[in-house]
Amino acid sequence: MLKQNHHHNHQPLITMEITVISAKGLKASSSIPFSQRLRPFITLTTVSPTSPYTPSNDGKHCHVYKTRVDDQGGVNPTWGDKFHVPIDSTFFTNRYSSIYLQLYTKRLVLGQTQLGWCQIPAHDIGFPPAGSVRHLSYRLRARDGSRTNGILNLAIRFEGLENQGLTNSISPTLDTCQTVIGIPVTAFSTYS
């Protein structure tokens, strides 16, 4: 029997089912010639106290999930890809926990180019009842952090929530972290 314990604290695991539904209003960046069509895909990872999203991380706690490439949707791609992401209850008790999503386009010659990103804090996700689905829409940001017209739509559902008391305190050692978070989209009527 092989058991690996990478955490000092034995927190119960919860499965967060993240469905990357679609994006709309994408624009090619200036680094992509107009002759090349968009071939977008999304990568996502969770950022939490036990899995800091830093280059110095040993990689044991940071797993990147990736959607398929949408070759047909252009500036309004759809994926519908589901990911089952294990998290522990500290994800909800630390104010720096979030889901970090990046939008790329795949290019034939030079690999991939980032078109945008968003970061969804755990407190925006909330803690819905097991089995219920929460739909979220976020405005994408450009590489420099400025807002774009692109919007990413996703759905989140939790599995394995058997009254796990979320009473852990927020770690005071993480106050040095500063993040720019996504902007929830409240209305889609801004387009003409």
Look up the CATH number of the domain holding residue 95.
Answer: 2.60.40.150
Residues spanned by the domain of 105: 14-162
Total tally of structural domains belonging to the chain: 1
Q: Considering only residues 30 and 144, tell me which one the structure prediction assigns the higher pLDDT.
A: 144
Is position 48 within any domain?
A: yes
Is position 176 within any domain?
A: no
Is position 185 within any domain?
A: no
Of 52-66, 81-95, 122-136, the poorest mean pLDDT is in: 52-66
What pLDDT sits at residue 182? 54
Residue pair 42/21 in contact (Cβ under 8 Å)? The answer is: no
Of 4-13, 40-49, 108-117, the poorest mean pLDDT is in: 4-13
Spell out the alpha helix ranges (H) of the chain: 90-93, 122-125
Is position 62 within any domain?
A: yes
What pLDDT sits at residue 165? 44
157-184: pLDDT as tens digits: 987 655 444 433 333 333 333 334 455 5
Please give the structure tokens belonging to residue 51. 């899995």
Please give the structure tokens belonging to residue 101. 């999503």
